[in-house]
Structure 1
Amino acid sequence: MSQQKLDTVNAQADRAYLRLSRKFGQLRLHHLERRNLLIQNIPGFWGQAFRNHPQLASFLSQHDKKILSYLHSLDVEELGLARLGYKIKFYFARNPFFQNKVLIKEYGCGPSGQVVSRSTPIQWLPGQDVQALSQGDSDNLFSFFWWFSNHSSIESDKIVEIINEELWPNPLQYYLLSEGAPGKKGTEVGESPEQQPKESSEANQSK
């Protein structure tokens, strides 16, 4: 009888957890959609946030930085209530590098529980394929865009970790950093952005 009661309590707890997850998931989605609309009104926001992030910047070639200047929106979607995976969507304006409007990198669990990844094939325009450009060019020995076709390396896992845990939760702090600056906490989204440039200016004057 006690096991029966325990099963009933567990079932009630599972239903309550699902209700709360859906409720707060909807609230979070509402705020993320509002944030995305605000960011889209700031030209070059995501490209600058990528360039300014102390770790992500190390994965960017000069060619990557030009491409990312056309990135107008980023979205990270959690797969399942238990966060079993992530789908990262990069939305690009029309550009001279590739035909895709959206590039997607997805991480999830395979049939046997192992982590697997899938991605959108990049439809490079003639002369813009980063792999071809890297040959014999010391300025393009590596590229962030290799990550889309790389499904096994440690660097690939590191990039998705940085985007999910640092850049996506609070991109404003990296947008406000000076390019190449050491990592530090900026203002939270929703605080007055005018305060951060003022602090940076004062720091430069004191040097």
Structure 2
Amino acid sequence: MSEIGASPAKIKKLDPSEQVHEAREYDPETQKALEEIDSCQNEIDQLNEKASEEILKVEQKYNKLRKPNFENRSKIIQRIPNFWVTAFVNHPQISAILEEEEEECLHYLTKLDVEEFDDIKSGYRIKFFFDENPYFENDVLTKEFHLGSTGDPASHSTDIKWKDGHNLLERFRQRMQQGEKSGGSGRKRPLDLRSFFSWFCDHGDPSADEIAEVIKDDMWPNPLQYFLVPDIEVENGEGDDDEEEEDLDEEEVDDNVVVVEEEIEEVDEEEEEEDEVQAEEDGEADE
């Protein structure tokens, strides 16, 4: 029996319009084993497809079960002033794209909603609900992501009806242009990053939209953790203050110990000097 892999590799000649592939020749036993592996792999792939279908059904089922909880949570959140803007500002990735004026605008954001399509893999939509505000006329701003296997990924967003003199997207673009002309001085962030509304209107690469994924997979499932960030920091800060006070107390005790030790040393030195003087006087008396 010939040694496995002993046959030299050779290049199969194909039509110039086709990509060149490397073809190998194997001994009969290896060839049979490879075919059996391929057959096993096909069975594994079929099971994986079946598992994906079952997982999809489970996710769809629990999305429906969770929906009343999300709706109830939204009603409760509306009782808390500035809940969503606080959560956004406390989120490290979302706050990184927030301009100061946009933060002011998000004080009018009353509700956030994320809806996955029935075919979860095909996409989702993010909806922002606003009270009447001085920036735009829309009550709801929606951005949809279509990520299905048919066709290229695409996204669409609501056309924002800006009120006169309050187009935050245009203001941001003007600041970026001024930053480019001035060499970048005075810019809040590098030019390659976006603002919140420039993200909302951007449809460059829907399949790799990090902000949308953060909102869908991190902010939406549990916004409370980001709303409570300041309180957590305050609690931690109080603990740090206690530790600092303890350290100061320890330092004061150490200083007192040092002072006492120095006083004892000074007393000992004075006693030694007195003993020496007395000894000298005694010696003179004897003479």
Range into which the TM-score falls when normalised by the shorter chain: 0.7 to 0.9
Paired residue type of 2:156: R
Which residue does 1:158 correspond to in 2?
Answer: 210
Matched, 1:62 2:62: no
Which residue does 1:202 correspond to in 2?
Answer: 238
Alpha-carbon deviation of 1:133? 1.8
Paired residue type of 1:120: T
C-alpha separation in 1, matches of 2:233 and 2:76 = 19
Question: Per the alignment, in what secondary structure is the counterpart of residue 105 of structure 1?
Answer: strand
Q: Number of aligned pairs?
A: 180
Task: Judge conservation of contact 1:79–1:85 (CA < 8 Å) in 2.
Answer: yes
The 10-residue stretch of structure 1 (26-35 or 115-124) with the greater mean CA deviation from structure 2? 26-35
Task: Judge conservation of contact 2:108–2:130 (CA < 8 Å) in 1.
Answer: yes
Matched, 1:84 2:135: no
C-alpha separation in 2, matches of 1:52 and 1:25 = 27
> For the structure 1 residues 23 and 131, does the alpha-carbon distance in structure 2 shift closer, same or farther, using more than 3 Å as the test?
closer
Alpha-carbon deviation of 1:173? 0.5
As a proportion of its length, which structure holds more helix? Answer: 2
Which residue does 1:35 correspond to in 2?
Answer: 73
What do residues 145-165 of structure 1 show as CA deviations (whole Å, max 9, x unaligned)?
A: 1122210058x7011011011
Normalised TM-score (structure 2): 0.55
Unpaired stretches in structure 2, ≥5 consecutive residues = 1-48, 179-186, 245-287
C-alpha separation in 2, matches of 1:14 and 1:61 = 42
Task: Judge conservation of contact 2:121–2:147 (CA < 8 Å) in 1.
Answer: no
> For the structure 1 residues 14 and 105, does the alpha-carbon distance in structure 2 shift closer, same or farther, using more than 3 Å as the test?
closer
Question: Per the alignment, in what secondary structure is the counterpart of residue 69 of structure 1?
Answer: helix
> For the structure 1 residues 129 and 25, does the alpha-carbon distance in structure 2 shift closer, same or farther, using more than 3 Å as the test?
same
> For the structure 1 residues 84 and 16, does the alpha-carbon distance in structure 2 shift closer, same or farther, using more than 3 Å as the test?
closer
Q: Which one has the largest radius of gyration? A: 2
C-alpha separation in 2, matches of 1:17 and 1:121 = 32
- The aligned runs of 1:98-113 (5 Å cut-off) are 98-109=136-147, 112-113=150-151
CA RMSD of aligned residues (A): 3.1
Normalised TM-score (structure 1): 0.74
> For the structure 1 residues 14 and 161, does the alpha-carbon distance in structure 2 shift closer, same or farther, using more than 3 Å as the test?
closer
What do residues 30-53 of structure 1 show as CA deviations (whole Å, max 9, x unaligned)?
A: 111111111111111001100110
C-alpha separation in 1, matches of 2:107 and 2:75 = 18
> For the structure 1 residues 123 and 204, does the alpha-carbon distance in structure 2 shift closer, same or farther, using more than 3 Å as the test?
farther
Higher RCO (CA-CA < 8 Å; seq separation 6+): 1
Which residue does 2:200 correspond to in 1?
Answer: 148
Alpha-carbon deviation of 1:198? 6.8
- The aligned runs of 1:186-201 (5 Å cut-off) are 196=232, 199-200=235-236
> For the structure 1 residues 81 and 112, does the alpha-carbon distance in structure 2 shift closer, same or farther, using more than 3 Å as the test?
closer
Task: Judge conservation of contact 1:46–1:72 (CA < 8 Å) in 2.
Answer: yes
C-alpha separation in 1, matches of 2:240 and 2:112 = 31
> For the structure 1 residues 62 and 28, does the alpha-carbon distance in structure 2 shift closer, same or farther, using more than 3 Å as the test?
same
Alpha-carbon deviation of 1:113? 3.5
Unpaired stretches in structure 1, ≥5 consecutive residues = 1-9, 179-194
Alpha-carbon deviation of 1:85? 0.6
% identical aligned pairs:
39
Question: Per the alignment, in what secondary structure is the counterpart of residue 99 of structure 1?
Answer: coil
